[in-house]
Homo-oligomer: A and B are copies of this chain.
Amino acid sequence: MEVVKTTPEELLKGYKERIESLLFNGNSNDKVKGLYEPIEYLLQIGGKRLRPCMVLAGCEGIGGNPEDALHAALAIEVFHNFSLMHDDIMDDAPLRRGEVTVHEKWNANAAILSGDAMLVQAYQYLAKSSPQHLPKLLTLFNTTAIEVCEGQQLDMEFETRTDVEIEEYMEMIRLKTSVLLAASIQMGMIIGGASEEQHLLGYEFGLEAGLAFQLQDDYLDAFGDPTKFGKQIGGDILSDKKTHLYLTCRANASSSQLAQLDKWVGKTASPQEKIEEVKALFVETGAANVLQEQMRFHYDKALSALSKLKLTDEGKQLFNFLAELVHIRNV
């Protein structure tokens, strides 16, 4: 067996640096600085660049040259940031990655229009792909982009609905989060020359890993290690967010448990007590267990797709590393 010299961590670090070296060289018109400043601001705030790394990983993992996938990777990252800029207006979010959001730093109109320009810029990057792959990439990108809009629509609708089913929640996170991760890998694999069967498996891996990833985020919000989890523990509970835990808890609760849960909905006083009592209900109703089963279910499906992928040795290491990110050992 060939000795693999580059570790997955090193590969991903290299991808991230390569992406960031190009990300800030987008087209810009000096006469219209006001349009481009919010774009540059949001892009330089940073982030893990997970999605564009998945594009390059998909391409190199299948044996292609990751340089060929750079434009597609930039398209994905700029699209992702467009969606953040607009979501933050809709969610009235004051902060993004610890920094002031664009609509707060400028105003809502600036965030609308600069976001629009970002969506077009994403297509400008995509248009630089080789003509051979362009029709397939464009169709996949379009489908995914519409689905991300649909996911955000469902997420907004859920805020005011009281009858959200678990199946609807899963559909929402599939659309809002997972399809973009899935399409990132698939686009990379298409550019890397994968067969249709192979790049569809790449999509499936990304989709299932993405679902596990989002469910893990729900789980960690309540039960994570405060020293490791990036956000405040219990944030979803305090904002009465209709997460997987919350919805399963409601569905499984006895009438007395339901009364206990309802007592806390909408309350902002005694936050620490609220978090502890609601977490206890998540455990008592079995919601925490159900969520762990679901995470395991999607993690296993991701591994099953992965086992059918014909990857290079380095690709295997890299994809196993990505899969491990959604496999929590402490649950």
Contacts and interface: CB of A to CB of B under 8 A. Distances in A.
A156 B117 CA distance: 15
B32 A154 contact: yes
A46 to B, nearest CB: 23
Interface in A77-113: 86, 89-90, 108-109, 112-113
Interface stretch (A143-151, A226-234, A254-262): A143-151
Contacts of A153: 32, 34-35, 113
A35 B149 CA distance: 8
Given A34-B157, A117-B149, A120-B149, 17 more contacts: A27-B146, A35-B149, A86-B113, A89-B112, A90-B109, A113-B149, A113-B153, A113-B156, A116-B116, A116-B119, A119-B119, A123-B123, A123-B138, A123-B142, A124-B146, A127-B139, A131-B134
A134 B121 CA distance: 17
Contacts of A150: 29, 31-32, 35, 117
Interface residues of A, number: 38
Given A32-B150, A35-B149, A157-B34, A124 B112 contact: no
A191 to B, nearest CB: 15
Interface in A130-184: 131, 134-135, 138-139, 142, 145-146, 149-150, 152-154, 156-157, 171
A127 B142 CA distance: 9
B86 A116 contact: yes
A86 to B, nearest CB: 6
Oligomer copy total: 2
Given A90-B109, A119-B116, A153-B34, A138 B127 contact: yes
Contacts of A29: 150
Interface string A20-34: 000000010101101
Interface string A51-91: 00000000000000000000000000000000000100110
Nearest to A145: B120
Contacts of A157: 34
A115 B90 CA distance: 13
A27 B139 CA distance: 13
A125 to B, nearest CB: 10
